[in-house]
Each structure stands twice: as C-alpha cells, then as structure tokens.
C-alpha cells in the first residue's frame, strides 16, 4: 500500500512556465511534509517543507500548498528554468523519523 | 560542514565478496539512515539509527549488516549479495529522531553486484 501518492509521473514545461506536482496521503498522523529534488547520480536534496498547521509556504520560486482537509499537498515551481529539470519526490513523516516517499515526478523544463 | 559524505561512490562486487559502505557527517545529527534506491524509484528505508542505536530495521535481509561506531559514522556491511541488490545506496542524517525535520542525504554509493 502506497502511503503517499504522487502525480504526474513526468512533466514537461516550457521555460518560464509553472510546474505543478501533486501528492495525496491518507494517514492523518503524518506531521511534516518535505519535497526533495534529485539530479541524476546524486542523492535527494531537501527543497522545501511544510507542517500541517500551515496552508502555504513560499521560498523563492518554490511554493508548497497544503490542504489538510483534503489530505493533499502540492509543489508549485514558478518561472521554471532548465536547471530545475530533475526528479521531485514528495514525502510525509511518521513517528518523527520515518519518511514515506511518493513515487517521484520527472520534470523536464524545455528552453 | 553541512554534508553527508559517502564512500565509495561506485562499487562493483561479486556475489561471494564482503564489502562495506561508509557514511560520515559532522553536523551533530543524532539520527542516521540507510536507504536503497532503484532506478526511477523513490528511496526505500532500510535502517534507522537513533543516538547510535538501531531503532528501525525494515525487514532487511541479513546479508546487509549496519553498524554505527559513533555519532558521526555509519557503515553498511555487505556479504553474499545478489544481482538484484544492485542499486544506489543512500545515507541520510537528521537532527534527532524527535526534533529533526528533513533529511540531509549523501550522494550515494552506486553498487553493482555481478
């Protein structure tokens, strides 16, 4: 059973456009929701994260929107750049030290 | 120092070999993790160490043996692996098992079992 469902599997966006990646979960005990960015051959890097008592968090071009009642959260990348091309994973934390990852979204930003 | 350092970066081993992966961090993080990642898949948790004690073992086969010699070091000992164990092995750390939020991941060890 997949704890965190992520969509789409892949995404192509033009440079300057908005990239949107969605995640959904069922377990209301999750208490922290990070997004990771992974380039080929590298480990995932923490991009931005949110706690469930906040509906939105923005850091530069990256925004997380969180809908607690719907148990959904999403990553928005504004003004997408070719350098943003990577695989993005959402995750949810359970019991302080156990993270469940979504299946990943491969983003390709076309010049 | 805000990095998790993993060595070696690449490893090729035969099914009868014994090898070890090493992970090091100097951020004062008290929780350390081993993850396995297959191509185009998310990382899968293998082990969690909290304050140098094994706190989670996700039913990993005994041919993988973790070790945490001190708060900065984490090893993964490998023995009699199978070709299907070929993957990217990621180490991560976080501040502590209660207050820690996100992980800091290393770049991983690309393991090929032949």
Q: Can you tell me the distance from the alpha carbon of B22 to that of B68, in angstroms, rounded to the nearest whole number?
A: 10
Could you tell me where the beta strands, DSSP code E, fall in chain B? 4-7, 10-13, 18-25, 31-37, 44-50, 53-57, 64-70, 73-79, 87-94, 104-105, 109-113
Which segments in chain B show pLDDT lower than 50?
99
- pLDDT at position B52 is 94
- pLDDT at position B102 is 74
The 8-class DSSP code of residue B76 comes to E
Q: Assess B67–A contact: CB distance below 8 Å, yes or no.
A: no
SS (H, E, C) A58-84: EECCEEEEEECCCCEEEEEECCCCHHH
Return the residue in B27, B102, B106, B111 with the most chain A beta carbons within 10 A, the one to mutate for interface testing: B102
Q: Assess B95–A contact: CB distance below 8 Å, yes or no.
A: no
- pLDDT at position B98 is 57
- pLDDT at position B85 is 97
- Among A96, A99, A106, the residue with its CB nearest the CB of B103 is A99
Q: Can you tell me the distance from the alpha carbon of B72 to that of B22, in angstroms, rounded to the nearest whole number?
A: 11
- pLDDT at position B96 is 65
- pLDDT at position B100 is 58
Structure tokens at B57: 């073992």
> How does pLDDT run along chain A (111 residues), one tens digit per residue?
678 999 999 999 999 999 999 999 999 999 899 999 999 888 999 999 999 999 999 999 999 999 999 999 999 999 999 999 999 999 998 877 788 999 999 999 999
Contact A52, A33 (CB under 8 A): yes
Q: Assess A62–B contact: CB distance below 8 Å, yes or no.
A: no
- Among A93, A96, A104, the residue with its CB nearest the CB of B42 is A104
> Using CA of residue B3, residue B5, residue B9, residue B14, what is the dihedral sign?
negative
Cβ separation A104–B98 shorter than 8 A: no
Q: Assess A12–B contact: CB distance below 8 Å, yes or no.
A: no
> Using CA of residue A93, residue A41, residue B41, residue A103, what is the dihedral sign?
positive
Q: For residue A33, which residues of chain B lie inside 8 Å, CB to CB?
A: none
- pLDDT at position B84 is 96
The side-by-side arrangement of strands in the sheet containing B73-79 is B4-7, B18-25, B73-79, B64-70
């Amino acid at each position: 059973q997949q704890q965190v469902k992520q969509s789409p599997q892949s995404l192509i966006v033009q440079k300057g456009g908005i990239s949107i990646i969605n995640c959904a979960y069922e377990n209301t005990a999750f208490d922290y929701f990070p997004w990771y960015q992974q380039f080929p051959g590298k480990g995932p890097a923490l991009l931005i994260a949110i706690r469930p008592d906040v509906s939105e968090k923005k850091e530069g071009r990256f925004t997380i929107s969180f809908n607690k009642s719907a148990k959904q959260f999403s990553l928005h990348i504004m003004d997408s750049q070719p350098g943003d091309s990577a695989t993005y994973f959402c995750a949810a934390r359970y019991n302080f030290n156990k993270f469940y990852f979504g299946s990943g979204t491969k983003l390709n930003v076309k010049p | 120092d805000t990095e998790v350092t993993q060595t070696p970066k690449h490893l090729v081993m035969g099914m009868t070999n014994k090898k070890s992966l090493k992970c090091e961090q100097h951020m004062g993080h008290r929780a350390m993790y081993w993850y396995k990642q297959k191509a185009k898949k998310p990382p899968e948790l293998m082990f969690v160490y909290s304050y140098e004690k094994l706190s989670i073992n996700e039913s990993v086969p005994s041919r993988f043996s973790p070790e945490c010699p001190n708060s900065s070091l984490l090893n993964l000992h490998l023995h009699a692996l199978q070709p299907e164990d070929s993957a990217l092995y990621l180490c991560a750390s976080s501040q502590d098992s209660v207050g820690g939020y996100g992980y800091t991941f290393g770049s991983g060890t690309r393991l090929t079992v032949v």
